[in-house]
Amino acid sequence: MARSTAPLRGVPAVAVSRPVLLLIGGGGAVLVIAGLHGLADLVGPVFLALVLTVAAQPLRTKLTRRGVPAWLATVLVLLAIYATIAALVASIVVSSVRFAKLIPSYDGQWHALLTKVSDALARAGIDPSQVQLAGRMDLGQLVGRVADAVGGLLGVVSILTLVVTVAFFMAMDATWFPDRLGQLPLHRRSLGQALATFASGTRWYLVVSTVFGLVVAALDTAAMFWLGVPGAALWGLLAFVTNYVPNVGFFIGLVPPTVLALLDGGPGLALVVVSVYIVINFVIQSLIQPRIVGGTVGLSPTVTMLSLVFWAFTLGPLGALMAVPLTLLVKALLVDADPQAAWISPLLTQHPPEFAGRSPHRHANGTPAAPRSRIRLDARR
């Protein structure tokens, strides 16, 4: 029987069994998840603004060290954040619009392909009345859905306004917030360390994802250009953006060039496009990138995949895009900031602290702590 913490004066201790604690904690978690899901339109943009502010903070630090006035450094950071938001939205919108404009020009090839498929199924002994694909799979429906998606992207002006506004105030507060973390009471220093680790891990994740995204985008663009797939540069840009979505971003970036290759060059070219994407994804995104990401942010591939599913369900597309930073924040607040929960951390990481062959630093109570040099580095950021 597990007992609760020390009772209040005059209140007797109550024995609470572990199953009851698990049920209470699980019920509370369900309520929190339901609340996040209901407030997805608010939580997602606010966290996106937080991630962008954290990512841009080192720029402000470098500028102030070089003698740039604090107000000018803050303005430059805001401009960098706004430029990132504009580039992200523009890349998605341009790729979608370009795809929607290219598809109608292949209407004849689409119906010819569906007719061939219908004939092949009919020769296989399937009832012809069940293979009238041309009438059921109209290319215009696909164009309409792409147009609806573009309209949905263009209709998020209010969300973008919220991101821009929140990022403005967060950039202002970032001028003093790191110093306030250093002034926390001694018994709350673990929270400051956890938040500093979250910020550092988020920056490294964005750096690694950006570098590998550029590599994947360059290889995809070169391959699509060599194969003659229309809009090769756009599909490279889409591959770069979807690289920030762990594990499944590859499949999102694969659909448009595959469809165009199928319509422009037939099944053979489409198969080559899929094969090229799979090779690039397997070598870079499945073998190299997860090992580096796991070593820099401290999340195993399984945890990363599960976090993608969870945050996509909870917060929608923005949740999928920021699955890793969101998981790092939850880990910082619930695991890293609580010495009693430190035993959970090795279960979430790809390489536990002992992987490097040396024992981790520990607090006085025996719980693991981050190395001092890293804490100082994060504090300076």
At 269-283, the pLDDT tens digits run 889 999 998 888 777
Read off the pLDDT band of 358 (50, 70, 90): very low
Under a CB-based contact definition with an 8 Å cutoff, are residues 335 and 344 in contact?
yes
C-alpha span between 345 and 330 (Å, rounded): 12
Q: Residue 187 burial by CB count (10 A; 0-12/13-18/19+): exposed, middle or buried?
A: exposed
C-alpha span between 364 and 18 (Å, rounded): 28
C-alpha span between 253 and 352 (Å, rounded): 33
H-helix or E-strand spanning residue 362: strand 361-362
H-helix or E-strand spanning residue 137: none
Place of tokens 């609760």: 4
At 154-163, the pLDDT tens digits run 455 567 777 8
Segment 9-14 shows an average pLDDT of 57
Segment 89-110 shows an average pLDDT of 73
Percentage of the chain beyond pLDDT 90 is 4
- Pick from 256, 263, 266, 216: nearest CA to 239: 216
Under a CB-based contact definition with an 8 Å cutoff, are residues 368 and 345 in contact?
yes
Read off the pLDDT band of 7 (50, 70, 90): low
pLDDT value of position 140: 55
The residues facing 362 across adjacent strands are 368
pLDDT value of position 226: 92
Side chain identity, residue 180: R
H-helix or E-strand spanning residue 368: strand 368-369
